Chain A
Amino acid sequence: MSDEELLKRVGAGDTDAFRQLYHNTDRTVYSFILSILKNPQDAEEVMQETYLKIWTSAASYHSQGKPLAWIFTIARNLCYMRFRDLKRQADLGLDELNGEETGELCLPLENLADAMVLRSALEILKEDERQIVLLHASAGLKHREIAADLQMPLATVLSKYNRAIKKLKQYLREE
């Protein structure tokens, strides 16, 4: 069953369809959120909020053949809300109270190479490049799907991807 179908069923309250949809999309959604927030802890929380929102709002999804684009819109908005929260916290100096460091990104990964490559990608790439690279490399979306879901021309996706990978290679070589 397609994600489109599943989403419709979710809208009708079908929890099995929701589980299926979740399994189909979790990596993609997480990659997308991580590419925006750059922080696994925040990404996890926003991912949970995103799926909850998908559950509560699926009925309002209008079939456009692009369920992922719809999910991305939800996730993106929640990410931006999170940014606002973080900014407010920073303004209030709450980060310091929480003992959070704003320095190097901490990735709970045992494989050092994995951690190094992902950290590099999150740190040196721009947001749109991160989205494209993570959606393709990590979530396995085709460039064409990314183009459709992010509403970008395919050639733009391809060139951004290509450029981002080059940047990464160069950065890793110099590290």
Chain B
Amino acid sequence: MQGSGLGQLNTRQIEKHLKSAVDTLTPNILERIDFSVPQTRMSGQEQQNQMMLLRLQRRMRRLAAAAAACVCLVMIGGGSFYYHMENRRVESIIGIDVNPSVELSINRNGRVLKVRALNEDAVEIIDGMDLVGVDLNVAVNAVVGAMVTHGYLDDLDNAILVTVSNDSVRKARELRSSVVEDIEDALKENQVEAVVYDQQVIEDEEIDAIARQYGISYGKAYFLKELIDQNKNLIMDDMEELSSMSMEEIAGRIAERSYALGELADQAEEPETPEETSREPEPSEETTVFLETATEPESSETAAEEKETTSAAETTATPSTTAPSAAAQEEPPEEDTVEIDYVDYEDGMVYVCFLERVKWNTPSVVVRDKEGNSYAAMVTDFSRNDCSIEVDGLEEEKEYTFVLGGLYPAGSSTAVTVKGYFEVPEIASEVLDEDDTQPDETEESSGQEIDADDREPTDVKDTISETKEAEETFESRRETSSEAVEGDSEDSEEDASREQ
């Protein structure tokens, strides 16, 4: 392992050395802490400082005015008054764009504080509706219902864009999936089908300026800007035309011209990896997610019903937005495949890392067990190299298949589907102990395929058969749909660490 042997280190060994190094270096400074130093209670000034720190940390804060009000309130420090005001503070903003664009500002409890019509069509939609104080799901239902009543959502080719803005990525994600669910419920209730795009956004002055310039919602501006950034054949001048289109027309255009939708996730300034030449601008590390949920099964309890819905939704969507991926599912071209680097399951989340760079257009995922039952699953995050799938209701010690759709190999305009496997380990959510020996065992068995990312794709196949026999906590395999080449590479996240 020493000297020139370092060149052969695999992931586990690197991690082990890092751990050992830091373990050795970590000083014990506990005895140097002088407990006689008085503890400070929050002075107004300090509190202000702390809030400023927090504010610095939270980038691109929306509604600075509300935040400032919040700072003042904390300083006042009145308990119930604080809570009262907290409930009046806008925590998230939900944008719903069809052609009418409606914006709902909600507080931390999910109650509507304000409804804004962002264009003339929307004025008509929310006219006479008093949604202030009602729960978000009720408001969403009412807005979608009114859009149906007014004929903006009809039998054909509907598209809805849902935009969630919240300082916390996690909260935005939760909210996003809940709003999408609400919208789907409302659509079902009104017997209308639609492609639902959803995105979570961050505040960006440039987008604000675009929104104002073209008189469109922030969400739509974000969506279109992203679309233009992602597609070389689109330029900012196209904004004029695109901004005047309804979401249905935009969705049609996306399908017709096979535009890529995607995200600007990581800062990919990686000169070390020449194959990863980044062309897109990388504004921040926030992830913007576009997700077409119409193709996803939702609940395992109603699997049969869901299947129907799924296929129905797919059919509806086929002529419009899902055309590329639908085509790929039927006839995947031989040369366009996406290789999986590794799959990792942990606590209701499946992480999939790809060997090559991918682009996304309305990702979808279906998770099934061997019996063909489908499970509620959703692609919650994705980037050029990987994605996370949230999945519910899986049983331990069973093997599952996932099929990802809506992704493109970098440089290709043909969507592919990627199929992979994973097994839910016996103790799924519980953490193996921090004990050093425990991870080592896993290390031994999984060590071989950890380096799969360094191998030729064909090697991966061999790796599978090796690791299938190995008794591991995590096991996963993958195959690309087009070639049905199986492979396994799994870098089971060594979360046999602390559970805190």
Contact = CB atoms under 8 A, between A and B. Distances in A.
Interface of A: 2-3, 11, 13, 15, 18-19, 22-24, 26-27, 30-31, 34, 40, 43-44, 47-48, 51-52, 55-60, 73, 77, 107-118, 121, 128, 133-134, 136-145, 148, 151-156, 158-160, 162-163, 165-170, 172-175
Contacts of A143: 351, 493, 495
Nearest to B19: A138
A15 B34 CA distance: 10
A11, A15, A128, A143 pick with most chain B CB within 10 angstroms: A143
A162 B385 contact: yes
B271 to A, nearest CB: 10
A152 to B, nearest CB: 6
Contact of A56 (B40, B270, B385, B387): B40
Contacts of B273: 163, 166-167
15 contacts: A13-B39, A15-B35, A31-B22, A34-B22, A60-B50, A111-B24, A114-B24, A116-B17, A137-B14, A139-B22, A143-B495, A155-B265, A159-B384, A162-B385, A169-B451
B27 A47 contact: yes
- B: interface residue count bin: 35 or more
Interface in B2-55: 2-3, 5-11, 14-15, 17-30, 32-35, 37-42, 46-47, 50, 53-54
B500 A2 contact: yes
B350 to A, nearest CB: 11
A139 B268 CA distance: 25
Q: Is the interface of A mostly helix, strand, loop or mixed?
A: helix
A166 B29 contact: no
A172 B266 contact: no
Contacts of B17: 111, 113-114, 116-118
Interface in B383-399: 383-388
Contact of B453 (A30, A31, A166): A166
A104 to B, nearest CB: 16
Of the listed residues A110, A144, A169, the one surrounded by the most CB atoms of chain B closer than 10 A to its CB is A169
A110 B24 CA distance: 9
A169 B266 contact: no
B33 to A, nearest CB: 6
A69 B369 CA distance: 38
A169 B40 contact: no
Given A111-B21, A167-B272, A48 B351 contact: no
A30 B21 contact: no
